[in-house]
Structure 1
Amino acid sequence: MSDKLVPVNPADVMVIHDITPNITTLSVPFLRFGRIEVGGRCTIVRMTGGGVLVYSPVALTPDAAAVVVRLGGEEGVKYLVAPDIEHHIFLSEWLKAYPTARIVAPQGLAEKRAATRGKDSRINVNDRFFAILADKRAQPMREPQSIAPDFDADFGLVYFDMHPNKEVVLLYRPENILIEADLMFNLPAIEQYHRVDPATRHGAPGHANLINRLFQTMMRTEGNLVWARRFQWYIASRSDRVRFNEGLKVVDGWPFSKIIPCHGETIEADAKEVFRRVFAWHFASMK
């Protein structure tokens, strides 16, 4: 199952990028539905109390393990965050290497993984989750679900349980950096395909298929954003737009200066303005 989603040579195509002295990303090529170039990105964050948090794990290559040592030292991996119910296939690989790591995941992911029993060798359905974020709590979105004291000290958290993929969005407080998965894309995925031979790419510029081109238009953050806004309004937030807006308001209240998405380019300038442009229809509806 997951073999079709994983590069056959992850160590050869992974791009390692130090965003700050405390945050390093691991970017890899990834085709959604076998056609759409969205790329994938893992974010490794140094925790102030020692060790690292790994958000959206990708393949655990020797270079990835070296980043953990560089940022986390002897403490290693403290937390593995599955940012939604789609980004999870490498949790078992990382947990096997770092057995004391604590998995944080959205509600429903454990059941989804259990359904793969005997079907996917990459997924250990017996992996234990440390914290499962609860869907549809009675509390307002501005009251985050507590994970543990060391986690809560370093990270703000908003759980978009109404999003189709159930998104876990983090703010790294020491440096005011937003880390997210599918809440907002920033295509095209240039960095994530940087080390891929153009001749082997299924959707490379110049001969990209129509679906790939349309999706990249829909998931960009520059130029005419009408399709990006339609996607957010009619698809991402359709199940509970009021609660979705509450989550956006909390995130917008954070003083972030950069956005690290799982798909597409990291936004290192004017991040708050970009965020507001993408969700302009939602913010207008709150006035």
Structure 2
Amino acid sequence: MAKAFPESSMVVRAISPNVTTLSVPFLRFNKVKFGGRATIVKLATGNLAVFSPVNLTAEARSAVESMGGRVGYIVAPDFEHHMNLGPWKQEYASATVIGPEGLYEKRKSQGNEDVPIDIVYTKENKGSLKLPEELANVFDVEYFDGHVNKEIVFNYKPERTMIQADLVFNLPAHEQFSKSGVDATSGIWTKLATHFLNIHGKGQQRFNWYAAPANKPSFAESVKVVAGWEIDRIIPCHGDVIESGGSDVFKHIFQWHLKA
């Protein structure tokens, strides 16, 4: 059974007036201190887009209310970051759900709540899919159909902020464990994961070359698309927020794909 952390462990942080993160402690395989994070973006219309929803706690509800309370979109950006879709969709029933191909079927096979995916990214439609104007006006989007987890990556253009789930990691997860009473760096499995999933050296380069791609040519093409975006901040689901210099970090981590 996965270790449960108290709701009080959630760290709510206003990155900017329009971007708030909900950071929580999370153990991958009940051993690795990965951390988890939802990101909420307030659109010009007042609607909110929630990426990688975490547990819908009282603090999470309060954060939503502080940003106006109008959840218009719930985004499950890959095959792993969907487990809280049910509670969020139940609470915000009018929200449009966005996710990758195959996620609905995966959730059904696992016995998860029946949450339709309203906007589905596929390998075939990734170049032509039109998001609602309030999203399309402010986000670059690239669907990594070649990623093992079917990753949808967003760049909030007004603040040059990339929001993603399992494409870029930045361990250790200091912020996410900061209220848990647990050392984010402790344990042999965490230390091993941190070696491969930090933003320095070649560990994450190797991980993204050998482990992350399901289709390496397609993966590389998506990397090249994202490398052309204007990015300063990167908000990962696992590990600390990369507050600045995001474009250089991205190009360092994926330089093998950029040269492919």
TM-score by length of 2: 0.94
Say which of 217, 226, 236 aligns to 2:195.
Answer: 217
Is this contact kept in 2: 1:105–1:132, CA < 8 A?
yes
Deviation at 1:6, TM superposition (A): 7.0
- Which residue pairs with 2:142 in the alignment? 158
Distance 2:190 2:148 in 1: 21
| Structure 1, gaps ≥5 residues long | 118-122
- Which residue pairs with 1:9 in the alignment? 6
Say which of 74, 77, 83 aligns to 1:80.
Answer: 74
Judged with a 3 Å threshold, the aligned counterparts in structure 2 of structure 1 residues 5 and 94 are, in CA distance, closer, same or farther, namely farther
Deviation at 1:233, TM superposition (A): 0.8
Q: Quick check: 1:230 aligned with 2:224?
A: no
Deviation at 1:61, TM superposition (A): 1.5
- Which residue pairs with 2:47 in the alignment? 51
Distance 2:64 2:4 in 1: 21
Q: Quick check: 1:130 aligned with 2:118?
A: yes
Deviation at 1:127, TM superposition (A): 1.6
1:178-203 deviation per Cα after TM superposition (whole angstroms, max 9, x unaligned): 101100101000000000113xx6xx
Say which of 47, 69, 74 aligns to 2:65.
Answer: 69
Alignment of structure 1 residues 130-149 onto 2, 5 Å: 130-134=118-122, 136-137=123-124, 143=127, 145-149=129-133
Distance 1:242 1:154 in 2: 28
Q: Which amino acid aligns with 1:284?
A: K
Is this contact kept in 1: 2:9–2:177, CA < 8 A?
yes
1:193-217 deviation per Cα after TM superposition (whole angstroms, max 9, x unaligned): 000113xx6xx54x512x2211111
Alignment of structure 1 residues 182-197 onto 2, 5 Å: 182-197=166-181
Is this contact kept in 2: 1:39–1:189, CA < 8 A?
yes
Q: Quick check: 1:91 aligned with 2:85?
A: yes
2:93 partner SS = coil
Is this contact kept in 2: 1:145–1:157, CA < 8 A?
no
| Structure 2, gaps ≥5 residues long | none
Is this contact kept in 1: 2:3–2:27, CA < 8 A?
no
Q: Which amino acid aligns with 2:38?
A: C
Q: Which amino acid aligns with 2:6?
A: N
2:110 partner SS = coil
Is this contact kept in 2: 1:177–1:258, CA < 8 A?
yes
RMSD (CA atoms): 1.7
Q: How many residues align?
A: 260
Distance 2:136 2:2 in 1: 32
Is this contact kept in 2: 1:26–1:41, CA < 8 A?
yes
Deviation at 1:5, TM superposition (A): 4.7
Q: Quick check: 1:38 aligned with 2:34?
A: yes
Is this contact kept in 1: 2:163–2:236, CA < 8 A?
yes
Which protein has the larger Cα radius of gyration, Structure 1 or Structure 2?
1
Judged with a 3 Å threshold, the aligned counterparts in structure 2 of structure 1 residues 186 and 105 are, in CA distance, closer, same or farther, namely same
TM-score by length of 1: 0.86
